[in-house]
Structure 1
Amino acid sequence: MRNRLRSIFTNQPEGQPQWVLDLQNGDDAGFFAPDSATWAVHGQTATIVAGVRALLMQALHPGAMAGVHDWSRYKEDPLGRLAGTIRWIFTVSYADTATAVGTTNWVLKLHEKVRGTYLDAKDIEKPYSANDPELLSWVHLAFTDSFLATAKLWSTPIPGGPDAYVREWAKAGELMGVPNPPRSEAELAAQLRAFYDAGVLKSDERVAEALQFIRRPPLGKGMMPGYAVLFNGAVSSIPPLYRDMLGLGPARLGPLTLPARASTAAMLGVIGNMLGHDEPSATQARKRLARLAAAERSSRTEA
């Protein structure tokens, strides 16, 4: 089960992907330190729920949804798409700055071909590009809000509090070309609400199709009961404003509302015990930091 879980996140049956091992390389500490809010949030199992929640939220922008519908192979290769997203997140979080910037530029290059048209919330046809500032902003907001919300519910306290995480992860937004990424929890909520108030968001048959896939991805029968718990936890963490747009409600058993958040906490505990509590990306990053510290001490001694 441990190997199956790891393969889901890395799309690699055995061992660690080379990009994880390469996090020990590099000549600087990177954008975020071990005591940062980013390491604290991204190093815990709540990120599994955050990923599901982010996908649900991102689907509400018809331009973002069009890009996924027209270009993504998420149905044919869902684990490959997941592994690619995880690689970017953890590279920016733990790598040296040159690698973080290079990986981000690689993602932006892939985005250049993702273009087309979509019907907006008023059924007016509009062009889209995956690198459009508006789409990049929505994806960044949905990501940041999801990782913050799940961390507050199911992780240890965030160093510096929620504002520290939003402020730090704004760097990832800047690397992706997001204009004015939020730098506090209040700004995050306000920018999300601005999309809703402007009438930009939309739920249609494409969203319903994506939700159906996210609800029941091809994980195998043995994994689905646990995943159902995590999916319900993700839904429970979405504010009612957006949850209603998605047509999602609390998990129920007949007339009874199930304790989705408590069940999710228990499931994340089980997953954490299976995977172990040493995050591989952070482990490799610490090796780099230790090497750099040793080199600095040696340089001072020689001087």
Structure 2
Amino acid sequence: MAGDPGLFGPRSVTWQMHGDPMMWIAGVRALYLQALHPRAVAGVIQNSAAFQSNKRGRRDAWGRLMRTANFVGTLTYGTTEAAERAGATVRRIHCRLSAADPATGERYRIDEPDLLLWVHCAEVDSYLHVLRRSGFPLTGAQADAYLDEQRVSARLVGLDPDAVPGDRAALAAYFAAVRPELALTPGARQVDAFLRRPPTPAPLVPARALVWHQVAQLAYGALPAHAHELYGRPAPPPAVVTRRLCATGRILRAIPPALRWRLPPQHILRAVDRLGPGTRPAPYKLRRSAAILDGHKDMQGELRD
């Protein structure tokens, strides 16, 4: 590789995962999950124009989604300098914002570590859950490696990497500990309503009914059962959700990557141009690395024998 591989590089699990088209559905699942933390969602509602009912709010609604996608893409596929700069920008914005606790009225900063940790964990859990459940080839060891890699992303938003779950067991323990704090607040209802029917220009309303409705339903169905209980809306049986995720994954992955990657913000195309065609993200590379690892383990076992 002639250029800067960035914070993760083409050999990382993050590099292969974040190029998968199911990341869009995983991102919507993350929004549903993040909204169930009362203080986290209050910080979003009180500081985002996306939840205003005017034209500015309608424009910001989609802009917010694209800014999030751009941030994740920059951290994954951008140069080290670009990723560090993006993280510094996010930290600078967050340190200026505060919100009022919906229960007590107490003001708090939205960059409090416990809130940043919740947002991070809900995000990486959603990425892992949706991709694996939709058929993306990822072993348990690779899933743990992904969570460990994502401590870098956590650092960039202001967290201490050592305080962030770095494997599936630690992530499950974190969710078990924070679950009693989750609730369906008015803010969560606003996010739910927004995700089900986001503000859309009139010409695109039919597309929202045809496409976005399916995306939101699929993302909602992929939530854990306790989240469905809090939202108070049923979801299809888990087996049905899994079949739909797999079917959607097959359809989206059948679209040629060169076509998918031309959609904004085009981070993958720029990374491949910078590093060479052999660095294209692809699921088969994870299968190959898993096979190589298994081969090493078998060889070590034979040598011990």
Larger relative contact order (CA 8 Å, sep ≥ 6): 2
RMSD after superposition = 2.5
Q: Which residue of 2 aligns with 1:19?
A: none
Distance in 1, matches of 2:22 and 2:212, equals 13
* CA deviations over 1:18-70 (Å, ceiling 9, x no partner): xxxxxxxx962111122321122211111111111010111011111111111
Of residues 235, 244, 250, the one that matches 2:229 is 244
Determine if contact 1:174/1:181 at 8 Å carries over to the other structure: no
Distance in 2, matches of 1:247 and 1:109, equals 37
Asked if 1:139 corresponds to 2:119, the answer is yes
- The alpha-carbon distance between structure 1 residues 167 and 42, as it changes in their structure 2 partners (threshold 3 A), is same
- The alpha-carbon distance between structure 1 residues 161 and 99, as it changes in their structure 2 partners (threshold 3 A), is same
Q: CA deviation at 1:172?
A: 0.2
- The alpha-carbon distance between structure 1 residues 128 and 207, as it changes in their structure 2 partners (threshold 3 A), is same
How high is the TM-score relative to the length of structure 1?
0.77
Asked if 1:224 corresponds to 2:216, the answer is no
1:189-228 equivalent positions in 2, closer than 5 A: 189-196=172-179, 199-219=180-200, 220-228=205-213
Identity of aligned residues (%): 28
- The alpha-carbon distance between structure 1 residues 44 and 155, as it changes in their structure 2 partners (threshold 3 A), is farther
* CA deviations over 1:178-218 (Å, ceiling 9, x no partner): 2311110111111122111xx32221222112101111223
Distance in 2, matches of 1:145 and 1:73, equals 27
Determine if contact 1:114/1:129 at 8 Å carries over to the other structure: yes
Number of matched pairs = 258
1:11-50 equivalent positions in 2, closer than 5 A: 28-50=4-26
Of residues 261, 270, 283, the one that matches 1:284 is 270
Q: CA deviation at 1:258?
A: 9.4
SS of residue paired to 1:83: helix
Q: Which residue of 2 aligns with 1:57?
A: 33
| Farther-moved stretch of structure 1 (243-252 vs 208-217) | 243-252
Higher fraction of helix: 2
Q: Which residue of 1 aligns with 2:95?
A: 112
Distance in 1, matches of 2:14 and 2:209, equals 29
What one-letter code is carried by the residue in structure 1 that aligns with 2:220?
V
Determine if contact 1:73/1:81 at 8 Å carries over to the other structure: no
SS of residue paired to 1:70: helix
Distance in 1, matches of 2:242 and 2:129, equals 12
Structure 1, unaligned runs of 5 or more:
1-25, 294-303
Asked if 1:97 corresponds to 2:105, the answer is no
Asked if 1:83 corresponds to 2:66, the answer is yes
Distance in 2, matches of 1:131 and 1:177, equals 8
